A and B are shown apart, each in its own frame.
Chain A
Amino acid sequence: MNATVGRPIAHDSALGHATGAARFADDLPEPPGLLHGALVLSPVAHGRLDALDIPDLPGVVRVIAAADIIGPNDISGSGKAGEPLLTDGVLRHHGQPIALVLAETRDAALRAAQAIKPAITPLPALLDPEEALAREDYLMPPQIITRGDVPEAFAAAPRIAEGRFQAGGQEHFYLESQIALAVPGEDGEIAVTSSTQHPTEVQHIVARILGCDYNRVPVTCRRMGGGFGGKESNASWIAAAAALGARLTGRPVKLRPPRKADMAATGKRHPFLFRWKASFDAAGRILALEATLAADGGHSLDLTPGVVFRALTHALNCYDVPAVRLTALALRTNTVSHTAFRGFGGPQGVLLMEDVIRGVARATGLPPETVRERNFAGGGNGTHTPYGQALEGDLIRRVWAECRDDARWDDRRAEIAAFNASHPYLRRGLGSFVLAFGISFGVRHLNQAGALVHVYADGSIRLNHGGTEMGQGLNVKIAQVVAETFGVPLDRVRITATSTAEVPNTSPTAASTGSDLNGWAAHLAATTIRTRMAEVAAALWDVPADAVCFAEDRAFVDRPGDNRAMGFGELAHRCWIERVSLSATGFYRTPDIHWDPVAMTGEPFFYFSYGASVAEVVVDTLTGEHRVLRADLVQDCGRSLNPAIDRGQIEGAFVQGMGWLTCEELVWDAEGRQRTLGPSTYKIPGSRDVPPSFNVRLLSDAPARSDTIFRSKAVGEPPLMLATAVWNALRDATGVERLDLPATPDRILRALRGSSRSQSGGITGSGDDLRRN
């Protein structure tokens, strides 16, 4: 048993959060001379900016437009996608930034931003992804994965089913909206404090906009008030705008858009359209599948290629289909550019097989769970994904079997049937879901991490790594790794703000990889120092260095009969006296991953995370109101670094996924204006929406088979997808053939009525003049 790793230790800032002492970016004392920024946003979905007349406005110091940008006006990660910070003259979505107002007070800035009325010629807007699909208006070339002879498989098909459905987007609704503070320093330096998952990209984008070297832009992030992917690329342009203001005025600038502006101007989870055709036999074995997954990318590329890649590589999830042709599209519409959101295309991708399984179950008369089981990868079925990576069929079956047992599936099926037979209008339903989620960034070079560890002469330890803390408990996990490595109590390890000045060239904290990558990097840094310390102790005790061990806050000789030992602090002091470096960096890159983008094959993931879920719902068939009564989850965390933190991730992700699938509805009006800009109109789950019976199991005795840090597994994203069981339960309860997402009471009631509109396949789902995503 490890001393700190694997223990349920609370978040390092928990008491700071609860007392209000934990400081977020907007809580820091404001530097003298601070200017406040506010964005002028496009009131139209598509148009041409004719003029930007700036009236004389009280308190306003400067209004910045595209012409004021020093470097290239491009905030794309690649620098080649031509995504403007401030409009280049064409407005491509409602909420697109046109100008940045800088004023002496935030009130003055916000009032001025509202008062500025740019002259705009509206242009026809492409708002409906169905229309974009029909027009083949794509942001990037289609990505296609094939295996086997699909035409032949359909020609020989015993039976065929088809389906189509759509899933809406999702607003991140991090409680702390986007914020950056830029402070000009000497020699062209701009120090940036940003609420970001990706300090290095903030550095890059700021430097590009300012036309300066990266080394002039130190970026710091102590913590975020939530990220969920929304602060992966979107934090960068907020910071770049603030930095541009600071450079042009020579004064510090803070940019904190109000919630509505944040929601209007930043991307969301991609809405998707799905089409599929499957061939199968009477036993429910799926033999061939042809499917299209079309993501609405919004007006520009942003991170859409990665999202589409993940949707495509997860479209078969944990299932085996011998012959497949999977096409993923990125549609261009005049909406905000959709971006990373926890799961990154995976949650949309895994919906596909759920619909296929349901369609096959309906056609064969088999229970969906039987179809599910008969098509799991492994066992007698194929073991590899269509792109050629092996799945672990034993773990797929194990998580499902344990979850099914936890949920008392068969007993409850009977209970529910009895209830449904007796109630005039309430219907309960049971749904399940099983997941295989690939862990690693799809982009190979992002699978690297660095850490910087100092041991001071008193034995206190300062830990810095490239990951960022957004509430997920990354810092405490990495601190546990470092404490474990040094054999010291956790309180010796001081957690510090992420900084590009301390650990450079980092990757975003995303793709669930935060503790996998940074944990290894920190472990390697600590190991380097520990090795040097062991050598000092070994010389002192005249023993081989490998005989020196570290545990219980001391170094000691690990030999029978030899009791020599020294406190960790004492040894650190001796190292200093002996002129031995107590500072080290650690660097890690994920081994073994590869991808061939031409053949669309490879092993892009270091390993898979597995999970299973069962959810029970009750639906009021007269009003469409519904509620999740119970959820049972089994999640594979390998050998968990911290079960308390992991449980929090699992529960929180499940509820967030449930929100995406049920109550969180993005609505655009006929002019392409977002109408759900704030919590009064965009409803995320509240405490009452959480299943009153909510059972979570971390798969036991399942150390990771890949060489992960302490054999743990990633947990940030996978459990979000476990909420898919709620969708299945709603369909079980209602018996409706097609249920688009989010399954609001409105959609459910209209599906129950067999409304022509809800069956038509148009994303113009329910509204007469509204688009619901």
Chain B
Amino acid sequence: MDTIAPMAGSIRFILNGQAVTLPEGTSPTTTLLDWLRGPGRLPGTKEGCAEGDCGACTVVLEHGPTRMPVNACLMLLGQAAGQSIRTVEGLRDAAGEPHPVQRALAEHDGTQCGFCTPGIVMSAWAWTREGGDPHEALAGNLCRCTGYRPILEAMDEMMDDGVAAPDSLPTPREIATASQRFFLPHSVAELVALRAAHPQAWLLAGGTDLGLRVSEHREAPDAVIGLLNVAGLQDLDIGPEGITAGAALPYARLLDTCAADADFAPFAALLRRLGSRQIRSMGTLGGNLGTASPIGDSIPPLIALGATVTLASPRGERSMPVEDFITGYRSSALAADEVIIRITIPRPPPGTLLRCEKLSKRHDQDIATVGLSVLLNFRDGAVATARIAHGGCGPRAARASAAEAALIGAPFDAATADRAAMALEAEIAPLSDLRGSAEYRRIAAGNLLRRLALRGAGGVAEVMAVPTPHTTGLVA
């Protein structure tokens, strides 16, 4: 593909199976949603929130056999270049008949006001291919009318249509207009050179955070450096040593890999609650590290796992532990001319206890009020090494060294956990904000340690694990 990629060019993509070339001068930082609803004359895709949380704007990227739902409100046209995109209008067959997924939703009373419905249709259509828990597939789609029951019942009837994706198109290395440049470098060397040449440029991985500056604040940056096509930045390698993930690897692929590996399954359980399928189709570890948010979902587990981050600049590469990379509230060790290129996550040794906990107001698609990740090694029935990392409990995600010290050398039982919990409560400095009070964060963080000792093995938050054997129905 590289050989035929033009150096600079217009934006082309496949839309509902047809190649589309946008007119010269089209801003590459227009959101896909605005383009679809405006010049694209496809108003079926809706804007509900323009912040990637409601899912009304969901469209699907068709990549070979995979279907990745994405929020069109956060995706810039520069990111859409070369992709194969399907919208709700593109599901009808050649004769114009609705797709069975659309019929199922309509026939099961799965629509009321209908505004969320196109997004739900697209998420469901992707799910018929990708499978998994229907709730997980719907986590990025809010419906305010139905109460979801009829949507879930409709999904029970849906099947993969087996339709193959159209080919994608080559992407240009740069999209330029009179006032904007959108670079899509192909190599780390090219990326580093561009970074040095354009220090003010937006470094755009998935855009699930940065995209808000366009969708909400209507900014039009002069220059953007997109990371999607940089060789190596989408790589994922898993082996006996652990995982090496390119900085621009979407969470969705990392999740699939972690979920299939028992050692990383607890990390997968957390990743499954990070954003939604739409967000995980685009969002990246590199992006989460780059924003250095104190509540970044992925940072506590990376710290607990002892992950390192590798940065590249004209001076070469350097690596450092994630805990050292995060230096403060939304600040990191990243120099102005540096870019994050990969994250290395060591495999937990055999016999290790790894838990990646998250508390939030809503189970799915909510930012953590408290995050707590714990990695314990044992020798002779006692804790030999401990790595505990918290999020949402201070200006930055960080190690809890006092809590760790309280565990070392003792059996991991209720009494030890209680001591560690008290140490944790004393060493964190949470604030009150819209997600929770300082008091809650402090108590709950400690209790997450206590809970760990009480339950031993087990994965997801326990209230979600309580079975409900009773059936649902309309009582005659």
Min CB distance B207 to A, Å, is 15
Per-position 1/0 for B254-267, Cβ under 8 A of A: 00000000000000
The reply to whether B437 and A746 form a contact with Cβ atoms under 8 Å apart is yes
| Residue from the list B115, B361, B462, B468 in contact with A225, Cβ < 8 A | B115
17 more A-B contacts (CB under 8 A) besides A687-B148, A695-B473, A767-B432? A20-B121, A26-B37, A176-B46, A176-B113, A627-B463, A629-B466, A629-B468, A652-B112, A665-B361, A684-B142, A687-B364, A688-B363, A695-B472, A750-B440, A766-B432, A768-B432, A770-B434
Q: Which 4 A-B pairs have the closest CB atoms?
A: A20-B44, A471-B113, A17-B114, A225-B115
A118 at the interface (CB under 8 A from B): no
Q: Judge if B231 is at the interface, Cβ distance under 8 Å.
A: no
Most buried by B among A426, A654, A665, A690: A690
Tell me how many residues of B have a C-beta within 8 Å of chain A. Answer: 98
Q: Are B473 and A10 in contact (CB under 8 A)?
A: no
Alpha-carbon distance A473/B106, docked complex (angstroms): 13
Residues of B within 8 A of A680 (CB): 49, 51-53, 367
**Would you list which residues of chain B between 146 and 169 have a CB under 8 Å from chain A?**
146-152
Q: Are A20 and B87 in contact (CB under 8 A)?
A: yes
Over the window 204-239 of chain A, the binary record of Cβ atoms lying under 8 Å from chain B Cβ atoms (1 yes, 0 no) is: 000000000000000000011111100000000000
| Known A-B contacts A648-B145, A766-B437; A18 and B106 likewise in contact (beta carbons under 8 Å) | yes
Q: Tell me the residues in window 111-131 of chain B with beta carbons closer than 8 Å to chain A beta carbons.
A: 111-118, 121
Bound complex: CA A423 to CA B147 (Å)? 30
Interface-central residue, B46, B363, B366, B475, by most chain A CB under 10 Å: B475
Q: Is the Cβ of A174 less than 8 Å from the Cβ of B447? A: no
Choose the segment among A107-115, A364-372, A531-539, A591-599 that binds chain B (4+ C-beta atoms closer than 8 Å): A107-115
A window 449-504: CB within 8 A of B: 470-473
Partner of A174, one of B47, B144, B148: B144
On whether the beta carbons of B144 and A173 are closer than 8 Å, the reply is yes
- Is the Cβ of B107 less than 8 Å from the Cβ of A175? no
Binding site for A on B (CB under 8 A): 37, 42-54, 56, 87-89, 91-92, 98, 101-103, 105-107, 109-118, 121, 134-135, 138-139, 141-152, 216-218, 220, 359, 361-367, 369, 431-440, 443-444, 447-448, 450-451, 454-455, 461-464, 466, 468-475
| Minimum CB distance partner of A8 in chain B | B109
Q: Does A564 contact B (CB under 8 A)?
A: no
A310 located at the interface, meaning its Cβ lies under 8 Å from any Cβ of chain B in the complex: no
- For residue A749, CB closer than 8 A to chain B, the reply is yes
Task: Given the known inter-chain contacts A175-B56, A755-B439, please indicate yes or no for A690 contacting B111, CB distance below 8 A.
Answer: no
Q: Is the CB of A226 within 8 A of B359?
A: no
Contact check, B462 vs A746: say whether CB atoms are below 8 A apart. Answer: no
User: What's the A-B contact tally at a CB cutoff of 8 Å?
Assistant: 322
B103 and A648 within 8 A (CB): no
Closest to B41 in A: A29
Report whether B109 and A746 are in contact in the complex, using a CB–CB cutoff of 8 Å. Answer: no
CA distance A643 to B109 in the complex (A): 11
CB contacts under 8 Å to B, within A687-709, are 687-698
> Which residue of A172, A648, A766 is within 8 Å of B440 (Cβ)?
A766
Residues of A within 8 A of B53 (CB): 678-680
Closest to A625 in B: B463
In the assembled complex, the CB of A257 is this many whole angstroms from the nearest CB of chain B, namely 11
Q: For the complex, what is the distance from the CA of A472 to the CA of B111, rounded to whole Å?
A: 10
- The distance in angstroms between the C-alpha atoms of A681 and B53, with both chains bound, is 9
Assembly CA distance A625 to B147 (angstroms)? 20
Asked if A626 and B361 make an inter-chain contact with CB atoms under 8 angstroms apart, the answer reads no
Quick check: A11 and B475 within 8 Å, CB to CB? no
Q: Roughly how many angstroms separate A699 CA and B110 CA in the complex, as a whole number?
A: 23
Give chain B nearest CB distance to A402 CB in angstroms: 9
- Identity of the chain A residue whose Cβ is nearest the Cβ of B447 in the assembled complex: A622
A residues near B115, Cβ cutoff 8 Å = 17, 24, 174-176, 225-226, 471
Across the interface, do B145 and A689 meet the contact criterion of CB distance under 8 Å?
A: no
State in angstroms the CA–CA spacing of A746 and B360 once bound together: 9
- A571 at interface (Cβ–Cβ under 8 A)? no
Interface check A142, CB cutoff 8 A: no
Shortest Cβ distance from A613 into chain B, in angstroms?
13
B residues near A470, Cβ cutoff 8 Å? 113
8 Å CB contact of A11 from B109, B116, B147, B454:
B109
**Are B433 and A770 in contact, with the CB atoms below 8 A?**
yes
Given contacts A648-B145, A767-B432, contact A20 B152 (CB under 8 A): no
CA distance A126 to B440 in the complex (A): 27
Contacts of A21 in B (CB 8 A): 44
Instruction: Report A178-196 CB contacts with B as 1/0, cut-off 8 Å.
Output: 0000000000000000000
Task: Encode contact with B along A1-28: 1 for CB under 8 Å, 0 otherwise.
Answer: 0000000001101111111111110110
Q: Report A647-687 CB contacts with B as 1/0, cut-off 8 Å.
A: 11001111110000001010100000001101111011111
